[in-house]
A = this chain, B = another copy of it.
Amino acid sequence: MSESVDPLVKITRVPERGAYDKESIYSTFDDGYLCHVAYESDHGPVVLPTLYGRHENFIYFHGSPAAGMFRRANSDVNISLVVTHVDGFVLARSLFHHSMNYRSVVVIGKAEKVEDPKEVMHGLEVITENCLPGRWDEARQPNDVELRQTTVFRLELTAASVKARTGAPGDDAEDIDLDIWAGVFPVVSGVGNPIPSPDFTAGTDLPSSLRTFRQIPEDA
């Protein structure tokens, strides 16, 4: 990916919030696990959520070969894939300057169905490890029957951009002295206490990989 900006993903609205460097693109993907994919249908664009992982300059995502999204993704038409992190509610004195702090990364391109069985397994490992670090080696790995029910796609990060807002509200000067609270409510998320499966009767403790899995910081 060159540093020149692909016009497909150029930030035109508030351009100073845009970034196109690999580090920004990779880190915004690596902080998330859920993306939204938009693909062409006979009735206009359709957008659906799915899980993903990144390896080098590729995003991997997977699904059932029966799902419409995946039948259509492997075509000559571009798809668009976005990951959005909500970092805070920005409360200004004026409603007009209310906003969100966020980071979002968008990539536009042609998804390729992964055909090589080794790369299929690699793609599934990339997705699993992105969502649940350490889980690939703990759980039972896919067998041939299961692999036939799974389609893996990859999308190269050729045309991608990040848009982000950070910091305090930007009220107009004439509003600063209004008697209205202004500031940011940071958004935090993570996991709560794990709920073992009702059919889980083995003595197995929670693996160490999961003991600190996406815990919410105490000082949040």
Taking Cβ atoms with an 8 Å cutoff, the residues of A that contact B are 8, 12-13, 34, 36-40, 43-49, 51, 64, 66-68, 77-82, 84, 86, 88-89, 91-96, 98, 100, 102, 104, 106, 108, 124, 128, 131-132, 135-136, 138-143, 146, 149-150, 168-169, 171, 175-200, 202, 204-207, 210, 213-214, 216, 220
**Most B-side CB within 10 Å, residue of A34, A96, A138, A168:** A96
Partner of A46, one of B13, B46, B108: B108
Evaluate contact between A78 and B180: CB separation under 8 angstroms: no
Query: Smallest Cβ distance from A67 to chain B, in angstroms?
Result: 4
Q: Which residues of B contact A46 (CB under 8 A)?
A: 38, 45, 80, 106, 108
Main secondary structure of the interface of A (DSSP, over half): mixed
**Most B-side CB within 10 Å, residue of A67, A77, A181:** A181
Evaluate contact between B44 and A108: CB separation under 8 angstroms: yes
